[in-house]
Structure 1
Amino acid sequence: MDRSRSLRVLGIEGTAWAASAAVFETSDPTRRTDDERVEIYTDAYEPDSGGIHPREAAEHMHEAIPEVVAQARETAREWAGEYDGRDRQPIDAVAFSRGPGLGPCLRIVATAARATAQRFDVPLVGVNHMVAHLEIGRHRSGFDSPVCLNASGANAHVLGYRNGRYRVLGETMDTGVGNAIDKFTRHLGWSHPGGPKVEERAKDGEFVDLPYVVKGMDFSFSGIMSAAKQAVDNGEAVEDVCFGLQEHVFAMLTEVSERALSLTGSGQLVLGGGVAQNDRLREMLESMCEQRGADFYAPEARFLRDNAGMIAVLGAKMFEADDTLPIEESRIDSNFRPDQVPVTWREDEDWTADGDSVRVGKDDRADGGGHAGDALQGAEATVTFEDGLVTKRRNPRTYRHETLDDRLRRERTRLEARLTSQARREGVPTPVIEDVDPENGVLVYQRVGEADLRDDLTEARVRDVGRHLATIHDAGFVHGDPTTRNVRVGREASETRSSKTTDNAATAERTYLIDFGLGYFTDDAEDYAMDLHVFDQSLTGTADDAEPLLAAAREAYRAESSDPETVLERLREIEGRGRYQ
């Protein structure tokens, strides 16, 4: 095709509740603004009661898709006649949401897309719905390589790009954030969707303490939803429970987003998904990014809820990259994972490094080691270095409610000190704790290693981590956040100021576990498997070739653990859940 002229793509979306069609034109901005170049037509399914009923949603999709597609086609014809003459085809390609979503709805959309593509004799493009949420944020913001938080009804996960694919850095362990909130509101007898109603009632509420579950960059909503239902049943004011629910759920999403920024070194965050319309969630994310010096962007509402505009925009990029589908290969995939999508439309760049552990100090290197006078802003703490010691301060996080933030800072500081010392007693290399002040969230410990594992990823190092995790699991506790940023590598210091250290002469290469703040004591194999899952995700997100490293970690864990098969079987179950589908 002639790349110099405008390109028009018709997009069709229908993964669940929104029957939507759109036309997107890559015209000269002097002739049509970016806002004007995306025209979206949506007919939303609204259940009479409860949540989405798949059969009713499919019936609605069957009735509504022809009408919205016809409207989008007419707009495409008008634009074609306005700029290119009536003899020009109104569209150059048809893009459709191939998954993930409800199978009956997806099949209706795919049928409409095939028919439209055949009618105009144009190529077909199959778009991953979740990647489209990410890409519309990247497209509208102009960011190079952001981390993306997707917060929608059926999904909740953190994504980032590396080596030709979007990697899942963290995800829900049970249900999507919107669906979780809807389960709570159905308990109250409220109609779908529940999110806006919770947001409105929360405006008059006060804080209620609820469960807060973050494991690395993964998170869980089932416990907090059960507790919220119970709180209402026990007489707590609905407004207060709604307020507490938002403060906990959105703080969890914001925390894992900050961890993803820290892990990847990206200084850019984009938000996607229908729940992203919530003002409190956006406020939290914006506050977090401001505090750590990162850039934040959330598209306008029409691009946050399920919509065909994002399908058309990504479809145009894929079409220009010759990433199209033959009709016979255009079957839908209701479990279509975003990390299964080859990203053909982007250059193969890695993370941007402008947000890498934001440094406050005179030295500007991003090696994570630190020099005297430096201060590094990690995921949730500021770290300073002086005379072989590290001072870690869990400063208040401005995005979290003060009551919740105080509790988490105290608990995590105590746990980090206790579990760091416990792991050392079990023979796992960790820093020596010199001082701890839980009330102010301060730890002082020996400086260990020369770099993060992220900067020295070898099979030997990864095997060390596998053995270390097996050791602490056998001792009855988990690390909680064993990412490649929370492992330090290098020679053991030959000297130390620590009065508690007796081994001052060792010079062997060591692999240290640090930052046990999310750890806890447990005898549940599921918890041990989650530790391994978090480590696997961080390897996938930071290694150029993760497969040999994953195999090495598994091999070492199996050799060291007293009951590896039980834990690894649980790990396989976790990996197979497809939790954000």
Structure 2
Amino acid sequence: MRVLGVEGTAWCASAAVFDAETDAVFIESDPYEPDSGGIHPREAAEHMGDAIPRVIETALGHAREEYDDRGDDEPPVDAVAFSRGPGLGPCLRVVATAARALAQTLGVPLVGVNHMVAHLEIGRHRAGFDSPVCLNASGANAHLLGFHDGRYRVLGETMDTGVGNALDKFTRHVGWSHPGGPKIEAHAADGEFVELPYVVKGMDFSFSGIMSAAKDAYDDGVPVEDVCFALQEHVFAMLTEVAERALSLTGTDELVLGGGVGQNARLREMLASMCEERGARFHAPEPRFLRDNAGMIAVLGAKMAAAGDTVAVADSAIDPDFRPDQVPVTWRSGESVARVPGASDDAADLRGAEATVEVRGDTVAKRRLPKAYRHPELDATLRRERTVAEARLLAAARRAGVPTPLVRDVDVPEATLTMQFVGARDLAAGSTVDHARTVGEHLARLHVAGIVHGDPTTRNARVGRDGAPEDGRLFLIDFGLGFQSDHVEDYAMDLHVFEQSVEGTATDPAPLVAAVEEGYRAVGDDAVLDRLRGVEGRGRYR
């Protein structure tokens, strides 16, 4: 099969030809480069109108010249694939119009591709991985995806702006032109570390605070090289940490990187280091497949066309808010990032996302190991602060009526907690409605006491052993991201983190999510559930 792909979601007009038999990809691109500031939708659409016909003609010319297996009266490709969304509406309309006209002229099927899923699939295709977690780090997006039960599930995402757009906000403030990422990378080479905010909430993250702090630091006279260095060290460490948390939650040992920000060498270095430390495999496609490009559209389009997943012209409307978890994945089956139901963690030595756990009888030694990917100053601060916070909050949670392990010793210099061993397994391997309801009740009790867990995923809820002293009770563990707060917003975020971990790995998450909220409502404040609806709407393209 040979497919022509057309891309133009925001700034890059691109066309490509993918030949499935040889795995060869030809890409012709013409990026839009604004004179100043960021991307202007009207100007970008005008660029698409000028450039899309040219790049398509070049790609078609390549197909005709490179492959001589068809007659003059046969189309040079078997299908036309195009970016259906997400993206800027004016740009998407230009691309869709061109793709429809071309498919009809050639008499071949039309395939509508989700741009973000294409970023994931090109990495999986080039790596040969079965079922990886994917970190998409692009201009307007930043999220973690994993395949389960016929769809890509969002395991974590930005709660405000995409990572590339966040970096561009700083560079526009400094007066640099678009794109800002390469300029930050270049200036960071001569910078020194300065402290900036670091915001991770389960597997979600936020960039607004760190960007405001970076602009303030620059305005206060901190050398721009130092601010750029610190931005890379903080932002990319956040992305690497949540990627590791996703690997831990799902149990997979494969990670792929997608998106234009993935061209940054420091981000790739951090992710590779993290994966090496935990024995996982990491793949970042070559740069031409990381930035916006039609090659990934053509490759995924070929997979979809082979599965019969084509679209009639009348049904091919664009969707500027097209989320990856809305896409029925017709070209894959069987593989899943989710843990096998019923799996246990009886091993004496376990590794989570940020710590090793050594189990000896009824005692657990949890040590937060140094992370080689993080800057030493940032790493030391996080390990110390999280160890102290966890010890304090475990005790406070018990006083609030939430079952947690007893803390027996705290070694701050070694970032080690010695605790009571609790639970036969966690909920990542499978949860019941009763378990979910109990988690909702536990979170409500924490919030009534002014405690935010910070990372209440299914991995951090453990079911007690029958017949043991805990006798089937459900415990909450790992309060390292927790803190004291009286803000409804923070409580709603706790609920969102747990529900997202359920939705990312459960085959039928709806009853479990409903049970969580039922349990919360029985003990907690309805205002938190009302705010939860607003938090859910903040994910990209909701």
Which residue number in structure 1 is paired with residue 422 of structure 2?
448
Per-residue deviation at 1:509? 1.6
Is the contact made by 1:20 and 1:65 (CA closer than 8 Å) also made in structure 2?
A: yes
The number of aligned residues is 542
> 1:368 is matched with which residue?
345
Out of 501, 525, 547, the residue aligned to residue 510 of structure 2 is 547
User: Partners of 1:455 and 1:319 in 2: how far apart?
Assistant: 34
Matched letter for residue 69 of structure 1: I
Length-normalised TM-score, structure 1: 0.91
**Which residue does 1:503 correspond to in 2?**
none
Show CA shifts across 1:22-66 (max 9, x none). Answer: 111112x4xxxx3xx111111100000011111111111111111
Q: Where does residue 384 of structure 1 map in the other structure?
A: 358
Question: Within 5 A, what are the aligned runs for 1:151-550?
Answer: 151-351=137-337, 367-370=344-347, 374-491=348-465, 494=468, 506=469, 508-550=471-513
Normalised TM-score (structure 2): 0.98
Distance between the aligned counterparts of 1:218 and 1:352, measured in 2? 18
State the match for 1:9 in structure 2.
Answer: 3
Could you tell me whether the CA contact under 8 Å between 2:86 and 2:321 is conserved in 1? Answer: yes
Residue of structure 2 in register with 1:557 after alignment: 520
Equivalents in 2 of 1:485, 1:529: separation in Å?
19
Contact 1:175 1:580 in 2 (8 A): no
Cα deviation per residue 1:494-536 (whole Å; 9 max; x = unaligned)? Answer: 4xxxxxxxxxxx4532000000000111111111111111101
> Does 1:23 pair with 2:17?
yes
Aligned residue for 2:464, secondary structure, equals: strand
Q: Which amino acid aligns with 2:362?
A: G
Equivalent-residue separation in structure 1 for 2:520 and 2:397 (angstroms)? 16
1:75 matches 2:52: no
Contact 2:457–2:498 at 8 Å: present in 1 too? yes
Deviation track 1:99-136 (CA, whole Å, cap 9, x = no partner) reads 00000000110000100010011111000000000000
Residue 574 (1) aligns with residue 535 (2): yes
What CA RMSD, in Å, does the superposition of the two structures yield over aligned residues?
1.5
Q: CA deviation at 1:337?
A: 0.2
Task: Tell me how far apart the structure 2 counterparts of residues 528 and 114 of structure 1 sit (CA, whole Å).
Answer: 47
* Separation (CA, whole Å) in 2 of partners of 1:507 and 1:323: 51
Once the two structures are overlaid, the 10-residue window that deviates more, 271-280 or 472-481, is 472-481
The alpha-carbon deviation at position 242 of structure 1 amounts to 0.6
Residue type of the partner of 2:3?
V
Residue by residue, what CA displacement relative to the aligned partner does 1:407-427 show, whole Å, maximum 9, x if unpaired?
000000011111111101111
Structure 1 residues 492 and 327 mapped into 2: Cα distance closer, same or farther (>3 Å)?
same
1:360 paired residue number:
none
Q: Where has structure 1 moved over 4 Å in runs of 4 or more?
A: none
Q: Which amino acid aligns with 1:247?
A: E
Partner SS, residue 331 of structure 1:
coil
Most deviating of 211-220 and 54-63: 54-63
Q: 1:190 to 1:463 in 2, by over 3 A?
A: same
CA drift of 1:489 comes to 0.3
- Matched-pair contact (CA < 8 Å) for 1:266–1:351: yes
Q: Is the 8 A contact 1:412 1:517 kept in 2?
A: yes
CA distance in 2 between counterparts of 1:186 and 1:84 reads: 50
Q: Report the Cα distance in structure 1 between the residues aligned to 2:541 and 2:265, rounded to whole angstroms.
A: 23
Partner Cα separation in structure 2 for residue 44 and residue 402 of structure 1: 38
Question: What code does the residue aligned with 1:325 have?
Answer: V
Identity of aligned residues (%): 68
Structure 2: tracts of 5 or more residues without a match: none
1:55 paired residue among 25, 33, 42: 42
Deviation at 1:492, TM superposition (A): 6.5
Q: 1:260-318: per-residue Cα shift (whole Å, max 9, x none)?
A: 00000010000000000000000000000000000000000000000000000000000
Q: Is the 8 A contact 2:157 2:539 kept in 1?
A: no
Contact 1:159-1:169 within 8 A present in 2 as well:
yes
Instruction: Supply the distance in 2 between the matched residues of 1:347 and 1:50 (Cα, whole angstroms).
Output: 44
Following superposition, the deviation at residue 183 of structure 1 comes to 0.3
| 8 Å Cα contact 1:171-1:580 kept in structure 2 | no
The residue matched to 2:135 in structure 1 has which SS?
strand
Residue 42 of structure 2 aligns with an amino acid whose one-letter code is R
Is 2:143–2:154's contact at 8 Å kept on the other side of the alignment? yes
SS of 2:236's equivalent in the other structure is helix
CA contact under 8 A between 1:11 and 1:315: conserved in structure 2? yes
- Aligned AA (1:520): F
Instruction: Tell me, in whole angstroms, the C-alpha distance in 2 between the residues paired with 1:488 and 1:141.
Output: 34
Q: Within 1, Cα distance between the matches of 2:363 and 2:339?
A: 26
Q: One-letter code of the match for 2:368?
A: R
Q: Contact conserved, 1:335 with 1:578, CA < 8 A, in 2?
A: no
Aligned counterparts of 1:395 and 1:527: Cα–Cα separation in 2: 27
1:3 matched to which residue of 2?
none
Task: From 95, 104, 111, give the equivalent of 1:125.
Answer: 111
Paired letter, 2:344: D
1:84 positional shift? 3.2
Higher mean C-alpha displacement, 450-459 vs 148-157 = 450-459
Name the structure 2 match of 1:40: 27
Query: In the aligned structure 1, how far is the partner of 2:179 from the partner of 2:352?
Result: 36
**Is this contact kept in 1: 2:343–2:429, CA < 8 A?**
no
CA offsets 1:401-451 (integer angstroms, 9 cap, x no match): 000000000000011111111101111010000011122110010000100
Give the Cα separation in 2 of the matches to 1:183 and 1:443: 40
Distance 2:537 2:113 in 1: 22
Structure 1 residue 578: Cα displacement: 3.6
**Secondary structure in structure 2 of the residue aligned to 1:38:** strand
